[in-house]
Amino acid sequence: MQENNHNDTVGRIVKALSGYYFVVPEGQETNGSFTPIQCRARGIFKKRGESPLVGDRVRYGTTENGEGTVDAILPRSSELVRPQVANIDLAVLVFSVTEPTLNLQLLDKFLVHIEHAGIPTALCLSKADLAEEGPDSEEAQIAMDAVKRIYEPLGYAVYTTSSRQNGGIESLRDRLQGHLAVFAGQSGVGKSSLLNALVPGLELETSAISNRLGRGKHTTRHVELIQVGGGFVADTPGFSQLDFVELGIEELGSCFKEMRELAGSCKFRGCTHIHEPECAVRDALAEGKIESTRYEHYKLFMAEMKEKKRRY
């Protein structure tokens, strides 16, 4: 039962800023000329300890002054802790082939988090033009080849893009249609440049890499949905601090696709794939059917989780 007497409409929150939620009516999302309605959330959410998120489908009503109130949050299909965004149905992990150097351990860490959230993932290798020219072209080419060799067989689509040369932008844009996607990856990999290439005229602020630190400044300050044709992308603050314990990941093995598929064949249920006998994962590793870097990262993450647990 609604406690309000104004008409409720269903819409989607495309931006949250300073206590306001900007809502676009359902069906108008892809009409680029539509101005979102600025809404406040009703007090009832605070009482329940709930909070509307960007990406939420909500019921809202408009008030006399043209503003509105968010009255109800509709059920979510997914919810990410960091960045805080709801109903994402595609994650695009953006890693640059160089500048900053491609770090497979960090890539696997992001994948663990996204697999844990149960969201389908595509990989995007940005700055691909640097693999053809530039001082690190050889290193960049090796990194690109490694990602394709390791992750494509696991079922992750790999898109190579160059915002500068507009390379690969079209096929990535096609992949985004009809989805509510999130671009994730460490700062400085060119997420903003990529969005600018995908949406001509967007002109998001981009930051040059600080050479001294080898990391980009965080250019994105709040979560906002950016329309890309018939899809949306959540432009989120670059985040590189990923904490397994905070996310409550118990079953680390299930966040590695290849281990999840093999776990049923291990002798022991709840096998950690590290020291147990007759472990299907370690057998596959010995036979070269599992990529050794992935397994090394898995062991590393397990140790990190144990260490954190001891400290908590």
Give dist(CA 16, CA 14) in Å, integer.
Answer: 7
Compute and round to an integer the Cα radius of gyration of the chain. 21
Nearest to 175 by CA among 117, 233, 225: 233
To the question of whether residue 129 is assigned a binding role by annotation, the answer is yes
To the question of whether residue 19 is assigned a binding role by annotation, the answer is no
To the question of whether residue 255 is assigned a binding role by annotation, the answer is no
Q: What is the DSSP letter of 38?
A: E
To the question of whether residue 38 is assigned a binding role by annotation, the answer is no
To the question of whether residue 192 is assigned a binding role by annotation, the answer is yes
To the question of whether residue 39 is assigned a binding role by annotation, the answer is no
Give the H or E element holding residue 247. helix 244-247
To the question of whether residue 113 is assigned a binding role by annotation, the answer is no
To the question of whether residue 163 is assigned a binding role by annotation, the answer is no
Check: CB of residue 238 under 8 Å from CB of residue 216: yes
Nearest to 207 by CA among 227, 226, 189: 189
- Residues found in the chain: 312
To the question of whether residue 273 is assigned a binding role by annotation, the answer is yes
To the question of whether residue 303 is assigned a binding role by annotation, the answer is no
Tell me the CB-side half-sphere exposure of residue 206, using CA atoms within 13 A.
Answer: 16
Check: CB of residue 161 under 8 Å from CB of residue 197: yes
To the question of whether residue 189 is assigned a binding role by annotation, the answer is yes
Tokens of 271: 């096998």
To the question of whether residue 66 is assigned a binding role by annotation, the answer is no
To the question of whether residue 124 is assigned a binding role by annotation, the answer is no
The annotation places the binding site for GTP at 126-129, 185-193
* Positions at the binding site: 126-129, 185-193, 266, 271, 273, 279
Residues making up the annotated binding site for Zn(2+) are 266, 271, 273, 279
